[in-house]
Structure 1
Amino acid sequence: MSRGTVLLVDDEDNVRESAREWLSLSGFDVATAPDAETAIARLNPASCDALITDVRMPGMGGVALLEVVRMRDPSLPVILLTGHGDVALAVEAMRGGAHDFLEKPYDADHLVAVLDRAVAQRRLNAEVHRLRDAVGTTAPLETRFVGLSAAAQSLRTQIAQLASLDVDVLVHGETGTGKEVVARALHDFGKRRARPFVALNCAAIPESVFESEIFGHDRGAFTGAAQKRVGRIEHADGGTVFLDEIESMPLSLQAKLLRVIQERVLEPLGSNRQVPVDVRFVAATKSDLRTESEAGRFRADLYFRLATVSLAIPPLRRRRQDVGLLFRHFCLDAAARHAVAVPEPSRGLLTTLEDAEWPGNARELRAAAERFALGLPLDAVAFGAEDADADAAADLPARVAAYEARLIAQALADADGNTQEASRLLGVPLRTLNEKIVRHGLRPQRS
């Protein structure tokens, strides 16, 4: 599979051919152009993932080419190749929308790393636009459990395969991974979609009313039962019952639930009559139910009955490549709900988000996106990015860049957004700091 399609523009034949050969060997599909005018004629934004251009060329230069490309396709990443004297010009061009710049002579491996990020950004933008078009219309499965990682795609495939089958499902995942999202997708994309989806949080219902709540009761079943009540399971007849945090269900009620699951009949509290129910059960847990059953805290027979078909939701730290897409998706959702413009997250912020641990998983990420969409400040260091796994970044240059961005973000926060003070704290010239702020997509903010 190609790493991406690139258009390379440089008026020096040997430089252009050398770069083309290296990028082709590295797995990119490369087209070339000797000048900006030829590049404009050959550029097809629909099939191009990134454009690399020299800044100084006869006729139209790289910065002017950037402006033309931005008019044709604002999301196409443009990487500038600059001489030493053009750095200030390149920094200004980045303010105008350039993706990055490399100072000549550049390291070939570094160019590949920059291109990988640019292509990933390009494909991320394409997926976000696709999701934006889908949200509010048919809401396909891809908009329910968002992600391009192999883990996300595998889970969507399993949901699609199980949705229309009349089998009960056990969903396992850490807090905030989206267990109810998966349960609702199993219901909404299956043949029970027109019937009720009833969600029960087993940890939130007091034990004293639990049996009455889920099984119902007859009039006079207990003091205060002035009339018959239909339980939540019976109410869901024909649809789906979602039992969240099932590990919290009282042991005394687990036997009754097992009988309902096995026989599809229930007995309301205070009644001898049997009520047939046609429901599908989807249970969710953040615990290891096998361990809980071995310890006597959960009925083994109920565990084995539920675990016939199970789905495991991976935590965000195991699907880091989905973090940027999810963040943008949540930003779009928040912006639509609050009727505000969608801000564009910087490359530096996305790198920091991808490096974070996210103990609260997608729920925590959604909260961060909500703050970002509302224009509230995000402390990049507060995400715990320093504790990220050593193999979280794809390569050393990317990891060094992410670490540098976090140090600068922290210095800006310590200096209350004063770049002069931040440059003193970091021990670098103010001009160097300003260039790095632009390169990493950081913007100093005063509280």
Structure 2
Amino acid sequence: MARAMKVAIVDDEADMRQSISQWLALSGFDTETYASAEDALKGLNADFPGVVVSDIKMPGMDGMTFLKKLMSMDSGLPVILITSHGDVPMAVEAMRVGAFDFLEKPFNPDRMTELAKRATQLRRLTLDNRALRRELSDGTVLMKKLIGSSPVMERLREDILDLGQADSHVLIDGETGTGKTLVAHALHAVGARAGRKFVTISCAAWSEDQLSSKLFGPAEDGSLPLVEEARGGTLCLEDIESLSHPLQSRLLTVINEQGTPPETRIIAICNEHAPDTTLENVLRSDLYYRLGAMTIVLPPLRTRGEDILTLFTRMSEQFAEEYGCEAPQVTAQEAAQLLQAPWPGNVRQLVNIAERAVLQNRRGSGSIASLLMADNEASGPALTTEGKPLKDYVEAFERMLIDNTMRRHKGSIVAVMEELCLPRRTLNEKMAKYGLSRADYV
């Protein structure tokens, strides 16, 4: 479950600090108190996981000076100021400087709780966005998100590492839900442009005039056109198949003007085209050959074998932790059903089913089979999967079972042997066979 957000309370009056702390603690917040702004600054940092409540009038450093120092440290940190009656003009000025809001003494405690809740929601969103930006700029983290040990996934990771080092433009194709945007970020993050801008836009989300303005200018809000904003970095064009022919022509002009190697790398993502057509049919041929010099086609989930079970396990564990409950245990029959499912929505569909399976398990009802059946019926006619020998299903389930047990026992060989009733030699042989290493679980 999500941890309670912190509230740092700064006030030189001990009674006020204690009363605010007690009230917010009863409302579910994790509080910490400081008798002065100077002390608070020693305990706070740019990624403080919470908000600050501070009096304005304090000896030494006052609340306004304290606010300015906090804003210079982290402009996204919500600060709620407590004012006396005559301090309201100062509080209004504080709002201009960057304060989240202010309370005038004597204040209603419920109003304090309401403001703290709103501020913590904003703070959580800010920190989540920061974490996402860091994640999307870290090639190592992104590569780890490309879960799977199937040959097609091994080859995909190798392609990303190889193409990431190149300067040429890249075309990414594949069925919906296969992770094309994640691969685009990974290509940028593992290459020489990793420290530069990664600018992305969906060509399907805007009208032709709006898209033209955003890409090439002049932008209505006066901002730089995206081809300029991305200069020196990467411009990612999602839904490239939606780009009109006139805009394809303008994009081609921009590409031709860059020379070789290109100043700005373009990664084009195709999210949907008719089954009987190719991107070569959808795009102008001259643009297609400029963008498609390097191409990555993502594998559909149904071709990835036991990766399906690995992904389902990881996703269900993550959701179980988020919802504060146990992850569902997959039976041999359910493992076979997961492996046989057509997965028209690919990884995105699997993530949705994993979350619903966790919620079902928390209620103590439903089954993975019923979720798969309902999902595939809602999706309409789906692609079919090729049949596999029984041995493949048995081995995939066995690998999943050992992997889950090792993970649950944090690599304790003795505990795994006892739970699975396996002698050590047999367990070692099976782990070697399935490419499992104890070091990955410790």
With normalisation by structure 1, the TM-score equals 0.49
With normalisation by structure 2, the TM-score equals 0.50
